[in-house]
A and B are shown apart, each in its own frame.
Chain A
Amino acid sequence: MLEVRDIKKTFSKGLVHKKYLRAVDGISFTIGEKETFGLVGESGCGKTTVGRLILRLMEPDSGDVVFNGTNITGLKKQDLRKIRPKMQILFQDADSSLHPRMRIWESVAEPLKLYDLVPESDIRKKVLELLEMVGLQKEHLNRYPHELSGGQNQRVVLARVLALRPQFIVADEPTSALDVSVQAQILSLMNEMQQKYGFSCLFISHDLGVIRKMTSIMGVMYLGKLVETGRTEDVFENPKHPYTQALIASGRVAGLDNEQKASPIEGEMPDPMNPPSGCKFHTRCPQKMDLCEKIAPELNNVGTGKVACHLF
């Protein structure tokens, strides 16, 4: 369905003394039909950039993105626009994902008009149908985005995106700005819609609980690289990379979870402009060896998944 092959993106900063930031440093994964792939990592690890690169909202420096057999990295603008409606995105901040001067119904009607999906006379009916499907009512039709709550706006964005009947959606932390009870509403709506429309999804999040609930396979990113991938249940049951272990340990909640809280890992993420040599995690790794400082580990098959660590 979607295959990402070794994509890379480097940002540069400054005119004279150029500094380079390897936001995405060679990432590959595949997403199957109706599957949800979870991408986890801390802020600044490049997970958002991956989502943008796949949709070509940013141009990758190298690597390929193959969608339904078409390599979209080489596509010209016109051809790309034909594929666009099939690949959509949900953003973290729903309030700013909608045109502030458009009424809700106009926002939802826009994609329908853009691609002539329904005859002009049926647009209002179709819009109402879409909005009711995502749990909004007739009274919301004529409101503006700033008159709705974050959760309601995220529903509008979902209706707008689903109007195009996409085959693939990038969900970039769609609920991290929302309260837990609203988050639960939106995520179960997404699950319901996925059942109904059968799209595949790249679900980007820093919240492990959400990833565990929403995805079937996942990848963990650290400083632009994937350090571990595998089936979500396997990764949570038996995390292999020391970073994955640390992440899962910090996500655990005493009292809510039966397991004992582990002590947090030391240190902070290094400056991505000036990343450490060898394995990028070695500065914080509790199981560091001499080898780790020198050679960057490859992503190798370990058990049911893949891990980039010299321990395996």
Chain B
Amino acid sequence: MRFRDIRLDDLLRNKASFLGLVIIGILAFTAIAADFIAPYDPNKIELDEKLKPPSSEHIFGTDQLGRDQLSRVIHGTQTTFKLSLIIVTITASFGVFIGITAGYFGGFIDEILMRLIDVLLAFPSIILALVIIGSLGPGILNTVIAISLVGWLYYARVARASTLSIKEKEYIEGARAMGCSEMYICTHYILPNCLPPIIVLVTLNMGGVILTIASLGFLGLGAQPPTPEWGTMLNEGREFLRDCPWLSVVPGALIMISVLAFNFIGDGLRDILDPRQQVIK
């Protein structure tokens, strides 16, 4: 099997991934520049203006406290992206560390870590998250803890599987014969070579994490009002669904679009990394 790097132009060639990249690009820009592009303060209450339909002044209308909906979704994007990035970074690095350790050293360590993962995977992850938040109390920090606690499992499994196959390659044996330490082999040889499937998993996982954050927010267990967050906003808008649908539709649509965009990119990456894609028509 030949090895191919992920190349940006390959990704752009795929229409769905291209679309995904564009959407994520816009959302990421929105998140970073939220303070500058939001027309109003997201938490400024103006009860005279409450529940206004979309207009030139308030593009997405206002909510029950008269806060500008557009500013709130812009800041909500920031909240969601910040949280999911933190969670994915924690889970991916911890999972990859555990996976490589288990896969490379094998034997007893592997046995213990893998059984632990099997046990944790036996719990439905959202219920586990609910239990954790239930005992720690709702809030952003606890959301991060609850999702991260089970989120690393898949990374560990994928990293372990790639490590097992990379470990058998001649270049690892050559590195050992050269006198490289185990640590050096893990960081310089195993890690870079098991990254491609991890990168795919990260993009696909981003969508999942966004969805979980929103679900917890919707249930009132995630970000707490008045912090603007898509799931929380969805929950707040629920009461006014009949009269003011914009309050629910906008954050709902954003959740869907961002999850979809990440999945598009993930699928595109997976296709590129598939060695069977060597010869194209």
Chain A positions within 8 Å of B169 at CB level: 96
Chain B positions within 8 Å of A82 at CB level: 179
**Are A89 and B173 in contact (CB-based, < 8 A)?**
yes
Interface residue tally of chain A, by bracket?
Answer: 20 to 34
Q: Which of B169, B171, B173, B188 has the most CB of A within 10 A?
A: B171
Chain A positions within 8 Å of B174 at CB level: 89, 91, 97, 157, 160
Instruction: Find A97's partner among B2, B171, B192 (CB 8 Å cutoff).
Output: B171
Name the residue of chain A whose CB is nearest to the CB of B176. Answer: A57
Name the residue of chain A whose CB is nearest to the CB of B4. Answer: A146
Whole-angstrom distance between the Cβ of A186 and the nearest chain B Cβ: 16
Report if B3 contacts A (CB, 8 A): yes
Give per-residue flags for A112-143: 1 if the beta carbon is below 8 A from chain B beta carbons, else 0.
00110000000000000000000000000000
Chain B positions within 8 Å of A234 at CB level: none
Given A100-B193, A101-B193: A88 and B177 interface contact (C-beta under 8 Å):
yes
Within 8 A of A (CB), among B128-180: 169-171, 173-180
Chain A positions within 8 Å of B56 at CB level: none
Q: Which of B171, B177, B192 has the most CB of A within 10 A?
A: B177
Chain A positions within 8 Å of B188 at CB level: 99
Within 8 A of A (CB), among B177-196: 177-181, 188-189, 192-193
Instruction: Find A85's partner among B4, B176, B178 (CB 8 Å cutoff).
Output: B178
**A146→B3 CA distance, assembly (Å):** 7
Report if A93 contacts B (CB, 8 A): yes
Using a Cβ–Cβ cut-off of 8 Å, how many residues does chain B contribute to the interface with A? 20
Name the residue of chain B whose CB is nearest to the CB of A163. Answer: B178
Name the residue of chain B whose CB is nearest to the CB of A88. Answer: B177
Within 8 A of B (CB), among A68-94: 81-82, 84-85, 87-89, 91-93
Chain B positions within 8 Å of A251 at CB level: none
Given A91-B170, A98-B171, A99-B171: A55 and B3 interface contact (C-beta under 8 Å):
no
**Are B178 and A97 in contact (CB-based, < 8 A)?**
no
Chain B positions within 8 Å of A160 at CB level: 174
Whole-angstrom distance between the Cβ of A174 and the nearest chain B Cβ: 11
**Are B170 and A57 in contact (CB-based, < 8 A)?**
no
Whole-angstrom distance between the Cβ of B189 and the nearest chain A Cβ: 6
**Are B170 and A97 in contact (CB-based, < 8 A)?**
yes
**Are A101 and B178 in contact (CB-based, < 8 A)?**
no
Instruction: Find B171's partner among A88, A96, A114 (CB 8 Å cutoff).
Output: A96
**A251→B265 CA distance, assembly (Å):** 55
**A233→B174 CA distance, assembly (Å):** 32
- The chain A residues found within 8 Å of chain B, CB to CB, are 52, 55, 57, 81-82, 84-85, 87-89, 91-93, 96-101, 110-111, 114-115, 144-146, 157, 160, 164
